[in-house]
Structures are given as C-alpha cells and as structure tokens.
Structure 1
Amino acid sequence: MTEHSPIPFPLPERLTEVVSFDRHELGQILSIYGRMVAAGEWRDYGISTLRDVAVFSVFRRTAETPVYRIEKRPKLRLKQGQYAVIGAEGQIMRRGHELPHVLRVLERKMIRSVDRDM
C-alpha cells in the first residue's frame, strides 16, 4: 500500500476574508453608544461581519430598522475613507479615513438646545 498524505479541507472564503472592527474601533463606537443609551436615544445594536464590510447597526427600538449604520470598508481606505456613518434612509452622513472624525456626526446629534421656563 502506498501512503498518501491527507487532503486538507479548503477553508470557505468567508472564514479567510472577513472584515471586522478591532478592539480600539469597537471601544470608540461603544463609547458613543453608551452615551446615547444613557440619554435615552438608542436601545439596541447589532454587529455584522461580512467579506467586504463590517457594520455596527444602531436601533431606537429592537424591532425597527437601524437608525444609523457605522460601516468599515477597507477597500475604500485609499479613496474616500474606510469608515462611514449612514442614516436610516441610506444617506451617507459622513465618510472619512479616521473613525473619531466620522463619529463626530453622531455626537452632534446628542447636543440639543434646552428650553427653560423660569
């Protein structure tokens, strides 16, 4: 008998090329998320990791469509920037190369004028 080496099982493409947020990026996103939850604006989130994009979706209520999506697309890092904040209607609110600068659009939504009746 001849000995054959075992044939390795090929890894699915999905396992070899998955885009995800790293720990530092998630820390920045969850920092804003925590402040918005404390303010009563947001209630739930979801994370999707796909072959070409990672998405952090923010929900006002659990059973709704996302209010905002924070996307990371590494293929766009040399063009418009790999990070984007996308609104509920699909409009790109901000896109850029650095996540903190892109997330500022969400911090501005937190600032509101307060009407005081004295």
Structure 2
Amino acid sequence: MTVQTPTPFPIPALPEQVHFDRQELSAILTLYGRMVALGEWRDYGISALREAAVFSIFRRTAENPLYRIEKRPKLKSRQGMYAVVGMDGQILRRGHDLPAVLRVLEKKMIRPID
C-alpha cells in the first residue's frame, strides 16, 4: 500500500485564462485580412478572460464591436465552444468547428455588383 503525499503546487483544474491557439488565430486573421482588404473592417481587439477568449471586430476604433468571435471551452460538449456574436448580442452561429462557424461572416463578403 502506497501513501500518496500531496504536491506542494497542485495543478489547477481550469486555466487562469482562455486563449486562442495558433491555428484558431490563423483562421480568424485570414478572414480578418480579407475583410480589411475590402474596407469593411478596420480594427480588432483580443481579450483573454477566465471563461472565454474573445476576438472583437470593429469598423472604426471608437465604436462598439461589429462582431465577436468567442471561444468558451465549457460549452465544448454542448453546443460547441465557438460562436459568432453580432453587434446586438445575437448569436449568429455556434459550433464545434471554427472554420465552419466563421463561414457566417464570409457570406457577408458576397455583394451584388451594381
């Protein structure tokens, strides 16, 4: 019978903050770059919070964000940890696959030619 001694520095169950990983940021910034080239978006902000990572997209710097791309790991087993939220707080798309969730914003790039 072995006795397990407590470790002096226990490993926390959840990380202090949630962050986007390199692949997630690459997918988001690729879309962001295309929209900047079209003149639709001008600025962004990234927040790493305790329960979510948020990529906010702005038309102008001093405004409220047009869209927020959120990563909430607690929702991974439910609706999916990725979501695109509109300016009014409405969830435009939620899912388990970030590129699939971002397609809702790519559809906004398609415009009729006058």
TM-score (norm 2): 0.87
TM-score (norm 1): 0.84
Runs of 4+ in 1 over 3 A off after TM superposition: none
The reply on whether 1:55 has 2:54 as its aligned counterpart is yes
In structure 2, how many angstroms separate the alpha carbons of the residues matched to 1:113 and 1:74? 37
In structure 2, how many angstroms separate the alpha carbons of the residues matched to 1:51 and 1:92? 20
In structure 1, how many angstroms separate the alpha carbons of the residues matched to 2:109 and 2:85? 16
Structure 2: gaps (5+ residues): 1-7
Show the counterpart of 1:33: 32
Structure 1: gaps (5+ residues): 1-7
RMSD: 1.8
Secondary structure of 2:40's partner?
A: coil
Show the counterpart of 2:4: none
Show the counterpart of 1:98: 97
In structure 2, how many angstroms separate the alpha carbons of the residues matched to 1:41 and 1:72? 23
Structure 1 residue 17: deviation in Å?
2.0
Show the counterpart of 1:5: none
State the Cα deviation string for residues 60-98 of structure 1 (Å, max 9, x = none): 000000000000000000000000000000000000000
Q: Size of the alignment, in residue pairs?
A: 105
Structure number with bigger Rg: 1
State the Cα deviation string for residues 23-62 of structure 1 (Å, max 9, x = none): 0000000000000000000000000000100000000000
Show the counterpart of 1:19: 18
Secondary structure of 1:70's partner?
A: strand
Secondary structure of 2:51's partner?
A: coil
Secondary structure of 1:47's partner?
A: strand
What percentage of residue pairs aligned between the two structures are identical? 72
In structure 2, how many angstroms separate the alpha carbons of the residues matched to 1:31 and 1:61? 19
